[in-house]
Structure 1
C-alpha cells in the first residue's frame, strides 16, 4: 500500500481503504509490539467466541464468530495523506485482521483523492 501511494504522486489528500469481505476487518492499531495484536485477537475472541451455538455455521464453527468480530471492528478506513505519506502516528499501523482460522484470499479496494 505504501509503495502504491508513492506511485500515485499525490502530496495531499485522503486515502480510503475498503475490505471487500464480511469476515475480515481493517484496523489502525499499535505497530510496535506484536503482543498488542495478540491481545486484540484474544479480546475479540472473548467477545465473539466459537462454539456459542450460532445458527450460521455454513463454513464451519469459525464462520459466525468471524462475522461478529468484523461487525465489532471496521471494514473501511479513511487516512489523510500529507506530504505524500499516510498521516499515521508514531505507533500506528494499518492491519487487515483475519477473523477466520485459516488463511484466506482477501481484497482491499483503495481510493485516493488529492493533488
Structure 2
C-alpha cells in the first residue's frame, strides 16, 4: 500500500463554484497510484467542497442563488467581524462539506459523466484557499 499527499492552492475571484477537477485528477495521475481512495479536505471555515454538475452552467448558478437565499448576507448576525458575508459564509460551509472521498480506479478519480469537483467559495472577496489532497492505494 502506498500513499501520497499534496496541497492544492486555489485562488478564487469571490463567491461561486470554482471547478478544480482537472487539477485534482492531474495530481492523482502523477502519483502513480492506480487503485485506491482519494480524500480532499479544505482547510477553511468559509468555503466548502462539492461534487456537482459540470456540464450545464445554469445548474451552478441555481445552486449559488439557492444558497444566497438560504443564508443571505445581513448585518443582523452577531458574528460579522469581517462584514455582512462573514456569518453567511460559515452557515453555507456548515450546510455543505469540507471533505470529500472519491474512489480512484485506473489512476483517475471515479466521477460520473457530468460530475466535477468544486471549491465553493462563500465569501465575496477573493481568497487563496488550501485544499489538502491525500491518496492511498496501489
> Which residue matches 1:56?
79
Find out whether 1:84 has 2:107 as its counterpart: yes
With normalisation by structure 1, the TM-score equals 0.97
> Which residue matches 1:103?
126
Q: Which whole-Å CA distance do the structure 2 matches of 1:7 and 1:86 have between them?
A: 12
State the shift of 1:103 in Å: 1.2
Q: What are the ranges of 5 or more consecutive residues in structure 2 without an aligned counterpart?
A: 1-23
Q: Which string of whole-angstrom CA distances, capped at 9 and with x for unpartnered residues, describes residues 18-58 of structure 1?
A: 00000000000000011111110100111101116100000
Runs of 4+ more than 2 Å apart: none
CA RMSD of aligned residues (A): 0.8
Q: Which whole-Å CA distance do the structure 2 matches of 1:105 and 1:67 have between them?
A: 17
Structure 2 counterpart SS, 1:27: strand
Number of residue equivalences: 115
> Which residue matches 2:5?
none
With normalisation by structure 2, the TM-score equals 0.82
